[in-house]
Amino acid sequence: MRVEDFDYHLPEALIARHPPERRGESRLLALGADDADPRDLHFRDLPDLLRPGDLLVFNDTRVIPARLFGHKETGGRVEVLVERLLGPHEALVHLRASKAPRPGMRLLLEGGVEAEVVDRREALFQVRFLSRTPLLELLERHGHVPLPPYIDRADEPLDRERYQTVFARRPGAVAAPTAGLHFDEAMLERLADAGVDRAFVTLHVGAGTFQPVRVERVEDHVMHAEWLDVPEAVVTAVARARARGGRVVAVGTTALRALESAAQGGRLQPFQGETRLFVYPGYRFRVVDALITNFHLPRSTLLMLVSALAGRERVLAAYRHAVERRYRFFSYGDAMWLERVSF
């Protein structure tokens, strides 16, 4: 397969640069396994697509204010984007500067935060923050919300709340699990009252999720590593849903990748560690029956993932429909419901 096979035309005006006024006011494009054409719904219609006994699996990662601005001790401007916490005072970071800093160089960042470059690890830098205050606390005080590159504006106070799910609890992500942004407490209560169960995995989304695919053949792409945790309680919840004939519905591609990563041994088991799982057409799903997701960038690994679940031609046709009907795209945009099809 070629990466160009996962391309589509998207008018710039359809990229959502701000969230809707209230959570859950988004539209929902539904593509069931037996649907010849997608259906135009609203996110409030989601309970109609679910059945008692179904299990929704959410990603409870929490986005950290991971971006800091400042300058090198030599005077050049620098932007730091934390990719992964290595401890209370160290992190792997992306560094944007006119010239790459050398190990030992000091960085002078917002709020009087000082850091030192320790080492370089391929495209990332290991950085030590020179404060007794834990890094997470420093970021909460002085960091900026790491909005995706296609939201071409500075972060605003509202983003602290809206680029975060209502169930976020484990800090570590530098990008939101955006399918979860549509859910508010009222929707969660409606689903519980309807007999739909829920469970939580954790996958700390990295900035690599926005990196373009730089190869021509899909099979040649290597995924970035992300940390995840699928606890025993999720394994039990999935088994219980299966026993009563319910479906496993992943809320977001990150929840799907967490579940499928934990089932790479052939069956779902508790798992904590890194994943580089790349899901593209031809992948055999072991856990997930349906997916709630946002719209994804052209030629991206996430568009390949949803194509693996619901079929490339069907997904691209649904995307063309969404463009024609002027759905809002990407992180702050509208949602899709996709059911797994058999090939």
> Residue 312 in contact with residue 3, Cβ under 8 Å?
no
Q: Which domains does the chain have, with CATH numbers?
A: 3-63+160-339 (3.40.1780.10), 67-142 (2.40.10.240)
Give the closest residue to 259 by CA, choosing from 245, 275, 244. Answer: 275
Strands 61-63 and 67-72: what pairing?
unpaired
Statement: residue 100 has pLDDT above 90: no
The string of pLDDT tens digits covering residues 280-326 is 999 999 999 999 999 999 999 999 999 999 999 999 999 999 999 99
**What residue type is assigned to position 296 of the chain?**
H
* Residue 287: half-sphere exposure toward Cβ, Cα within 13 Å: 29
Neighbours of 329 (CB within 10 A): 23
Alpha helices in the chain (DSSP H): 46-49, 135-142, 159-162, 185-193, 232-243, 253-261, 301-310, 312-324
Who's near 297: CB < 8 A, 6+ residues apart?
Answer: 150, 210, 303, 330
Residue 210 confidence (pLDDT): 80
pLDDT band, very low/low/confident/very high, at 98 (cuts 50, 70, 90): confident
178-182 average pLDDT score: 98
In whole angstroms, what is the distance from residue 26 CA to residue 23 CA? 7
Beta-bridge mates of residue 293: 336
175: its two tokens: 């990008």
Q: The dihedral of CA 53, 331, 259, 36: what is its sign?
A: positive
The string of pLDDT tens digits covering residues 207-229 is 877 888 999 999 999 998 999 99
> Residue 202 in contact with residue 258, Cβ under 8 Å?
yes
291: its two tokens: 């997916």
110: its two tokens: 């917002």
In whole angstroms, what is the distance from residue 277 CA to residue 258 CA? 9
The string of pLDDT tens digits covering residues 18-41 is 999 999 999 999 999 999 999 999
Residue 122 confidence (pLDDT): 84
In whole angstroms, what is the distance from residue 227 CA to residue 123 CA? 18
Measured between alpha carbons, how far is residue 51 from residues 193, 246, 249 in Å? 11, 7, 11
Statement: residue 202 has pLDDT above 90: yes
Statement: residue 334 has pLDDT above 90: yes
pLDDT band, very low/low/confident/very high, at 93 (cuts 50, 70, 90): very high
